[in-house]
A and B are shown apart, each in its own frame.
Chain A
Amino acid sequence: MAEKTKKKSFYIAVWKRLKKNKLAMIGLSILIIMLTIAVFADIIADYDTLAIKQNINIRLEGVSKEHWFGTDSYGRDIFARIVHGSRISLIIGIFAVSIPLVIGGLIGAIAGYFGGLLDNILMRLMDMLLAIPAILLAIAIVAALGPGMINLLIALSIAGIPGYARIVKSSVITIKDLEFVEAAEAIGAGTTRILIRHILPNILGPVIVQATLGIASTIINAAALSFIGLGIQPPKPEWGSMLSEGREYIRQAPHLITFTGIAIVLTVLSLNLIGDGLRDALDPRLKD
């Protein structure tokens, strides 16, 4: 009981601090709007008739009452496609960050805490992954596994692991030699407990920032893969592939890329604002 109220009060305190941060609140509202749109996509715009169905008569139309954001080169409603595309982009963004975050974080924490030979083996493996540019690695993996949503997720996840491993490792190294970790050992705490309760909360700051930035870059990487035909397959609407399609018509119909671009920018921006705000709110030392 007491534990519960204590936990609650901690999160309430974090929330209160986050609420004071106006930029984070703006980011959070944008993200909530995006999530709502993604969840209720089917109600907002019909998938089959508006987002997929091609209609050559109304191709490349500008902004109008019927088509709020205009239509693309196949006569599909861009608003509907952005709405449905938000589902794919957000799912990719969230999963392709949380999976490598957990795996990479674990590797980094183990390497950083135990050090020695284990650290060398794990981190050299990570360096090997890191030596290949993330996008190239993802391309290679998707090319081997074949295109599709799941394979895209796997590819982006593997490409993301070394980055998180390195960040977590370097943070763990700086924390583990501080006296309070020794003090925790001196009160009889075991390794797992020290890692989870004493070290993890202390490295949350940089990890959260990296993760929110990571969602943004992952959405862009997914878009890049879709662009070269290795990601989400057409006619499924995906922001990246829509952007690359629109690129061809940038002179005649700039609205094609404008609205899609705005959607990506808003999502990425909202995540970055939230990440910054969370970092400040979670760190009790920065509290006034």
Chain B
Amino acid sequence: MTLFVLTVLNGLTLAGLYFLVASGFSLVFGLMRNINLAHGSLYLLGGYIGYSTFRTTGSWELGVAVGALSMAVAGAVLQYCIFRFMEGQALRQTLVTIAISIIAADLMLWYWGATAYQFTTPDWVRGATPIPFLQLAYPTYRLFVLLSAVVVGIALWLFLNKTRIGIMIRAGVDDKDMLDASGVNVQVLFCVTFAVGAALAGLAGVLGGSYLSLAPGEDMRFLLASLIVVIVGGMGSIVGAAVGAVLIGLTEQFGLAYAPSYAPVYTFLILVFVLAFRPQGIMGRPVET
């Protein structure tokens, strides 16, 4: 019973982190059909920059803010300098972002080295929180990550559904040309969306780096997670990203807890089942061909 509850909690925490990373990936894809395979690099770079800020200033909160904001800038730059010139060319975008992620990974290895870093979290999220009715305590910080993911998810939903920019973004997802024709500066909108998506990755980098660790290879781990989450949940859907993240997070943790040797197989099987019965993802809309 204890193992079960702990596994569920671990799964949900991991799902929270996956949701933060994958929702950014999904948002960027949903609006612009931009495939950003450097999304994992944004996660790791955001984490590293947040860590360096934390080391210099001693403030974890500042590290979170700088990690997210620096990636927002990086995302806007990516959109402005690269993606703007290859709209609709999915294959080239893929190849270019793969090239960028290779270079980024190598340069990050150069600058930050191969050591794994971990943040010291501030006092108010340290320690453990007792869980009612069970003789258990669970790390407060992980509950905080889960809570952050829920808050970000709701904020993102409100942003997309209730604000003017959000409405423009959704309009852009449906019909980009029509939106352009009605006087919206689509390029600015794209930069904003990319910045938001990248900032989510950077935020996740610092939050994740505080309980996992920051090391070379984490970029590909989170890119893989984002890919699977959005393929399973459905491209361009925030709700889909949440559903996919919960499914994959739980599967991974249950696999690790009960059958560690075959854990990645279960994730793969979910991918197979979803593709076999619902190729567009659980919450996705059919692909237009």
Say whether A and B bind each other: no
Hey, which bits of chain B sit against chain A, CB under 8 A? none
Hey, which bits of chain A sit against chain B, CB under 8 A? none
